[in-house]
Amino acid sequence: MDSEEPQVIIYDPTLRDGQHAVRHQLGADQFRSYAAAASGAGVPVVEVGHGNGLGASSLQIGQARLGDDEMLVTVREALSGATRMGVFMVPGWGTGRDIRRAAGHGADIVRVAAHCTEANVTARHLGLVRELGLEAQAVLLMSHMTTPQRLAEECGRAAAYGAQAVGIMDSAGHYLPTDVTERVERIVEAVGDVPVIFHGHNNLAMAVANSVAAVEAGARVIDACARGFGAGAGNTQLEVLVAVLHRMGHTTGIDLTSLLHAADTAHDRLMEMPPSIDSLALMSGLAGVFSGFKPRVLSAAVAAGVDPIEVFAELGRRQVVAGQEDLIDDVVRALVGAS
């Protein structure tokens, strides 16, 4: 392990964001085995939950195999050393009651997420997290859908509401490194000493490069998943990112050899297959559409006899965001009518 104070805090949502890739069906033994392996490698934060966060398990967006309580208890018991447990929540899916229950199960960090122009919806929940004595973080989703200046303003608002780290998610894997640099620099300037977060997706094969660009622009908290485990093309690949950061001279506090074994555990125990950049994942990145739409887009497009690539392109033109999955059927019908 690095003996120096980490310059970059690695935040590992393998057991939360990775759930999208397996329809939220991870079981207790899978949670336990990966949490123990990641913790043993010195990963600072392991995030756990339904892919869409606390309280999100539902028929609409997918029922998880385990309830929030069982997931949290299982991972808390498996973590060792200084590894902290994080949870994720989106107001509307999760509630204050969910946050209180997570606190009771030993969560250390609560991330409150909002659409990139709606940081105001995080205020009440961030306040509750602080009242409970947990670390409060705020992240903006689908961050490519607004300007760098607006992102900086929204992150500033979240910091004013009490967020102790703020940042952006490249939810559709749309960014190139120059996009990340411009946005992170603006956010760092706007929030001062508050640590800045970056969360990448790999639709354009840029996730590691974008994460490195974020670090060089001043971000201090970087998200990454073992083997890139996540929806569609997946997330930033954790073990690759840490290796690259170490080669660049950045300290993370993570033992790389142990992390490689943890990545092997994830490969063997968690995923049906590692993420890959297929045509639809690439198109969703280009169009700026959340990769998690892929199963429903494929199903609806095949049933109607239309090209799913065209469906993703139209969803991008309509600027559809997560939670608007019902619009997939509208787009398919429109394409059928136009053919």
Q: What are the catalytic residues?
A: 20
Return the structure tokens found at 272: 């049906």
Q: Report the run of H or E that residue 128 belongs to, with start and end.
A: helix 123-131
Question: What is d(CA 221, CA 214) in angstroms, rounded to the nearest whole number?
Answer: 9
CB neighbour burial string for 145-180, b if at least 16 within 10 angstroms, e if fewer: bbebebbbbbbbbbbebbbbbbbbbbbbbbbebebb
Taking CA 40 as the corner, what is the angle to CA 32 and CA 262, rounded to the nearest 5 degrees? 70
The structure tokens 């990545």 sit at 263
Strand partners for 11: 45, 223
- Give one DSSP letter per residue of 308-336, joined into a string: HHHHHHHHHHTT--TT-THHHHHHHHHHH
Q: Which two tokens stand for residue 126?
A: 């961030």
Burial of 2 (0-12, 13-18, 19+ CB in 10 A): middle
- Rounded Cα distance between 130 and 137, Å, is 10
